[in-house]
Chain A
Amino acid sequence: MSIRVGVGSPAGIPGSDPELVLDWAGRADATPCSSLGVIDRLAYGNQDPFAVLAAAAAVTSRIRLATCILIAPLRDTQLLARQAATVDALSGGRLTLGVAVGARTDDYHAAGLDPRGRGRRLSEQLGVLRDAFDQPGDPAPPGRGRPELLVGGQSGAALARMARYGDGYVHGGGPPRAFAGAAERARAAWADAGRPGTPRLWGMAYFAFGDAAEAGRDYVRDYYAFTGVFAERIAEGVLTHARAVTELVRGYEDAGCDELLLFPAVARPDQLDRLADALR
């Protein structure tokens, strides 16, 4: 199967115009993109992922709606289960729930939580979530009965968690070579766990086209400032023209990626059109 390409929502960029967020979702439904992704932070100026996807469900009919990723341990598990099931139901079974512990501790402090033990807590949550999604309750999700569940993280323990609870793996970004390495380990974890078939593999990257390129790099540099000396490198990876998109998509496809989510680094309406053009 060939790779599919999704687009991120500008809802992750602080100060995004709510009208743009809704308009973007509706227009994305008419592009070649296969999914619309949202990020999740608390100690940051983004919009709430479930609220954005619920609104997106109302203005879309085709595109998958994905959290990439949701920092599940910040949330009460039963509430999270209810919200996810509701968005899945409202969208006609189009939710892909990507969860991970997140890369930063400031979101935990903002939520008044101790970040220690967050991996263990995520595992417990996933155990509760799969039971919750399994019960035909109210609202009853149509379609396959539960959202597609992706699990992210870099450690061996995260990959084992993915293989136990997930339908697939969501990678945190980087060049195709980095993705290929993570994909190999994800497949190994899957086989080690005795799961039939192979895990679904999702990747992600950023784009900022034309005169938005520098502003896009600034956004990414700031967003990844917590990585210290590596922020600059991540900023350099921002896709700034159509050919860079084509090359990255091909690289990810060769690395076995099933779906690549491209997030805007600048909240501007033209950016979606440029991405759609690049993908055609």
Chain B
Amino acid sequence: MSHTAAKPSQSPSLRGSRRIVSVGGGPAGLYAAILLKKADPAREVTVRERNAAGETFGFGVVFSDQTLANLHEADPETHERITGAFAHWDAIDIYYQGELVRCGGNAFAGIARRQLLDILRRRAEELGVRLDFGIKPGGPEAAADADLLLAADGVGSATRTGLADAFRPGLQSHGARYIWLGTTKVFDAFTFIFRRHGRGWFQVHAYPYDAGMSTFIVECDQASWLEAGLDQADEAASIRWCERLFAPELDGHPLVGNRSRWIGFTTVTNRTWHHRNVVLLGDAAHTAHFSIGSGTKLAMEDAIALADAVDRHDDLDTALARYESERRPVVERTQAAAAASRGWFETWPRWDGFPPPQFAFSLLARSGRVSYDNLRRRDPAFVHALDRWFAARAGPAASPAEGPPRGSGRAEIAADPPEVAPAPAFQPFRLGGLRLANRLVAAPVPDYAASEGLPSAGLVAELERAGRGGAGLVLATLVAVAPEARVTAGCAGLWSDSHEASWRALRERLAGRAHLGVQLVHAGPRGSTRPRTLGTDWPLADGGWPLVAASALPYLPGGPVPAELDLAGMATVREWFAAAAGRAAGAGFDLLELHFGQGYLLGTFISPLTNRRGDAFGGSLEGRLRFPIEVLGAVRERWPAGRPLAVCLTVDDQAPGGLAADEAAAAAAAMRDAGCDLVEATAGQTTAAWQPDYRRAFAGPAGDLVRNAAKVPALVAGNLPTPADADTVLASGHADLCVLGRPSLPDPPWLRPAGTAR
């Protein structure tokens, strides 16, 4: 292990006349110097900076309310001066498709970076910090004559580079280009502008920072940048080009540069932040993409934590460990949010067809830190308008830019939207001839207690309970098309008259309460297992049945090897699905879903991880889709035209060598073209060795790919404990329908009161 336990009283204390040197005179170095000197005036504190005083890059920086509170607590004097110079705003403005969407309730403040540094420098001088500006600041060698060296020398830190063996930095450069500019146009909100130009996409992050200026950052992907010829443009030409592109928003105001140029963002991480008497702060330690505006905030909070730790622990090793252990989790969470935000800005052309309210919500929720519920608290009017818009016209992939969705799914379009609309989860949805009362799907886990495919009384009661609970659609899952197609011996089926009669009876009991769907499966290599009450994929000891798959690969390593499905077997399977579809129609099911994912039989055809066939049913994506499409076609013939047909697809195998994203989108589109109305988008389980991710709404990206890249209505499940989580997914446009997490439904009927209470 890299780190040994701190041994108390072996490293020096920083009390008394100790020498502290900051390499770097940015916000991190200056603020740490201020706080350390203030806590113990006997310390000799020096800040060494390459730039002369007053010479700085960039325009304004942003702080949130919480950061300001922290600054107040650490040093009221600087806080007072900073806030005196602040530009305040509480709105986020989004310019998109010629419309402006405003969301309030976000308290921010901005200040000129130059002014912030002036305030910090002056305060440092007052306290007796020595400021050596306009000199060569040095690197790690400066540690030799200091008791503590603050490596606050920024993203390109020479100190960090010199001690790379100790800090083990990871520098990740991103392809997008951005240029940091200013403008005399004073925006009154944090402003995002989205603009298409030629075949390129450009966006602006702008915010005011004093009475006369705003920061104006222009960003685009590499291809857009090259196509616009910006690689050949100098500062003046770049400014002129941006002024033209954003003339409507700039309102006649000019853009100004400050040795500005197009650069790529670099994410900085370090394995450790301290080594002997050297400690990393601010950008030298970590960076987070500017789209969440947290660089200066993190730098100054680092300084607070460092000064506090040094104050609390006499022993330097312990103090630096304390600093790092306090800051690292916070920084890592911020970096995760920044990565999600950066990903959103790299992907936004996918959502370019969204209507403005949905695009705005998607932007606001991009980092995963803001949910539908958060926004409802911040700006009730914004969410109210969103709900009304959703009620009036939200449709799967519907947009004025692209015309009507190609799938048959669409929202109920009210001619006259209600004054108060319910939250998205509680709004109706039309899929083919089926009108669902809300966007929530209850899909109870089976009890694996069926007898010869006949659903148990317990399962029927559970489905009925789910229906009475208020979900728009109840889905009976893992229903087998034949005895040999079952996952476990206790799985329900739909291959006999008695099965059909049993399901019909349930459908009749639910009539007028909820719609009932059925998911048909052939387990393939995951069949012939024990009830999942005991675990999954546990082969039956006796009484099992032969397994088939696209290729002769076991689901679990060392598990039973399935036979490769031959042509005769394929004809049989196709007929089983068609016959079960006919029975499903006879039983009165409102929706039929075919399971084409998660390592079950049809799923093994689609993923390159499980299909190694050399015949016409393997190889290219077209070959791998051939048999599933045949099955879909055979089912479509037997399933009534007006009733929706769904397919469950694993669009991300979450394993190396799995289905690529563009293949997954093509697969979803191919299903739609073959008569599928809805895709349940899932991630993982194609092979036993997948790398899952169970975070909140983890299937959201899969739904996004299906709905917005393939333009097919999407259903998602995956850690959505409450209707509010579904609201976030639905409002973001990642799905049209959501399966709520069953384990969190202690009393299913609560759904109905929750819906009516809103």
Q: Give chain A's interface residues, CB within 8 Å of chain B.
A: 104-106, 120, 123-124, 127, 130, 134, 155-157, 159-160, 163-166, 184-198, 221-222, 225-226, 228-233
Which single residue of chain B is at the shortest CB-CB distance from A166? B535
Would A124 and B322 count as touching, CB distance under 8 A? no
User: Does B447 sit at the interface, judged by CB under 8 A?
Assistant: yes
Chain B nearest CB from A96 CB (Å) reads 16
User: Does B261 sit at the interface, judged by CB under 8 A?
Assistant: no
Residues of B within 8 A of A190 (CB): 743
User: Does B612 sit at the interface, judged by CB under 8 A?
Assistant: no
Would A194 and B557 count as touching, CB distance under 8 A? no
Chain A nearest CB from B121 CB (Å) reads 31
Would B693 and A156 count as touching, CB distance under 8 A? yes
Q: Which of A123, A166, A222, A229 contacts B321 (CB 8 A)?
A: A229
Residues of B within 8 A of A104 (CB): 1
Would B692 and A160 count as touching, CB distance under 8 A? yes
Would B478 and A222 count as touching, CB distance under 8 A? no
A-B pairs with beta carbons under 8 Å apart, 24 shown: A105-B1, A106-B1, A120-B689, A156-B692, A156-B694, A160-B684, A165-B535, A187-B743, A187-B744, A188-B719, A191-B717, A192-B692, A195-B445, A196-B446, A196-B447, A196-B533, A198-B743, A225-B3, A225-B4, A226-B1, A231-B5, A232-B318, A232-B321, A232-B325
Q: Give chain B's interface residues, CB within 8 Å of chain A.
A: 1-6, 272, 318, 321-322, 324-325, 328, 445-448, 477-478, 487, 532-538, 541, 556-559, 684-685, 688-696, 698, 717-719, 721, 741-744
Residues of B within 8 A of A197 (CB): 533
Further 6 A-B residue pairs, CB within 8 A, beyond A123-B688, A232-B325:
A123-B557, A188-B694, A191-B742, A193-B536, A195-B445, A229-B322
Which single residue of chain B is at the shortest CB-CB distance from A223? B5
Would B535 and A225 count as touching, CB distance under 8 A? no
Chain B nearest CB from A250 CB (Å) reads 19
Contacts A228-B321, A229-B324 given; indicate if A196 touches B5 (C-beta within 8 A). Answer: no
The 9 residue pairs across chains A and B that have the minimum distance between CB atoms? A228-B3, A225-B5, A188-B719, A156-B692, A229-B325, A185-B694, A229-B321, A188-B694, A229-B324
Would A228 and B541 count as touching, CB distance under 8 A? no
Chain A nearest CB from B92 CB (Å) reads 28
Would A188 and B698 count as touching, CB distance under 8 A? yes
Residues of A within 8 A of B741 (CB): 187-188, 191
Would A194 and B556 count as touching, CB distance under 8 A? no
Which single residue of chain A is at the shortest CB-CB distance from B328? A229
Which single residue of chain A is at the shortest CB-CB distance from B487? A194
Contacts A134-B541, A190-B743, A229-B322 given; indicate if A195 touches B692 (C-beta within 8 A). Answer: no
A230 to B318, CA, bound (A): 11
Would A192 and B536 count as touching, CB distance under 8 A? no
Would A163 and B536 count as touching, CB distance under 8 A? yes
Which single residue of chain A is at the shortest CB-CB distance from B459? A196
Residues of B within 8 A of A230 (CB): 325
Residues of B within 8 A of A194 (CB): 445-446, 477-478, 487, 532, 536
Contacts A222-B5, A233-B325 given; indicate if A196 touches B445 (C-beta within 8 A). Answer: yes
- Give the A-B contact count at a CB cut-off of 8 A: 118
Chain A nearest CB from B83 CB (Å) reads 32
Chain B nearest CB from A270 CB (Å) reads 27
Residues of A within 8 A of B478 (CB): 194
Residues of B within 8 A of A155 (CB): 691
A195 to B538, CA, bound (A): 12
A145 to B487, CA, bound (A): 24
Would A221 and B5 count as touching, CB distance under 8 A? yes
A165 to B322, CA, bound (A): 39
Would A157 and B692 count as touching, CB distance under 8 A? yes
Which single residue of chain B is at the shortest CB-CB distance from A226? B1
A124 to B689, CA, bound (A): 11
Chain A nearest CB from B727 CB (Å) reads 18
A188 to B721, CA, bound (A): 9
A104 to B558, CA, bound (A): 28
A184 to B559, CA, bound (A): 30
Chain A nearest CB from B20 CB (Å) reads 20
A187 to B717, CA, bound (A): 13
Residues of A within 8 A of B690 (CB): 157, 160
Which single residue of chain B is at the shortest CB-CB distance from A199? B743
Would B691 and A157 count as touching, CB distance under 8 A? yes
Chain A nearest CB from B651 CB (Å) reads 15
Contacts A124-B558, A196-B446 given; indicate if A130 touches B535 (C-beta within 8 A). Answer: yes
Of B5, B322, B537, B690, the most chain A CB neighbours within 10 A belong to B5
A197 to B535, CA, bound (A): 12
Chain B nearest CB from A136 CB (Å) reads 11
Residues of A within 8 A of B447 (CB): 196
Which single residue of chain A is at the shortest CB-CB distance from B445? A196
Residues of A within 8 A of B3 (CB): 225-226, 228-229
Chain A nearest CB from B458 CB (Å) reads 10
Which single residue of chain B is at the shortest CB-CB distance from A225? B5
Which single residue of chain A is at the shortest CB-CB distance from B318? A232
A157 to B685, CA, bound (A): 11
Residues of A within 8 A of B538 (CB): 130
Which single residue of chain B is at the shortest CB-CB distance from A161? B688
Would A164 and B719 count as touching, CB distance under 8 A? no
Residues of A within 8 A of B322 (CB): 229, 232
Residues of A within 8 A of B541 (CB): 134
Would B536 and A164 count as touching, CB distance under 8 A? yes
Of B321, B541, B684, the most chain A CB neighbours within 10 A belong to B321
Would B558 and A232 count as touching, CB distance under 8 A? no
Would A191 and B684 count as touching, CB distance under 8 A? no
A198 to B746, CA, bound (A): 11
Residues of A within 8 A of B325 (CB): 229-230, 232-233
Would A192 and B718 count as touching, CB distance under 8 A? yes
Residues of B within 8 A of A192 (CB): 684-685, 692, 694, 717-718
A120 to B322, CA, bound (A): 35
Chain B nearest CB from A146 CB (Å) reads 9
Would B536 and A228 count as touching, CB distance under 8 A? no
Would B692 and A232 count as touching, CB distance under 8 A? no
Would A127 and B694 count as touching, CB distance under 8 A? no
Would A159 and B446 count as touching, CB distance under 8 A? no
Would B556 and A127 count as touching, CB distance under 8 A? yes
A231 to B6, CA, bound (A): 9
Would B719 and A184 count as touching, CB distance under 8 A? yes
A156 to B690, CA, bound (A): 9
Which single residue of chain B is at the shortest CB-CB distance from A157? B691
Would B535 and A191 count as touching, CB distance under 8 A? no
Residues of B within 8 A of A233 (CB): 325
Chain A nearest CB from B95 CB (Å) reads 37
A191 to B536, CA, bound (A): 11
Would B445 and A159 count as touching, CB distance under 8 A? no
Chain B nearest CB from A164 CB (Å) reads 5
A165 to B688, CA, bound (A): 12
Residues of B within 8 A of A156 (CB): 691-694
Chain A nearest CB from B687 CB (Å) reads 11
A150 to B532, CA, bound (A): 16
Residues of A within 8 A of B684 (CB): 160, 192
Would B535 and A188 count as touching, CB distance under 8 A? no
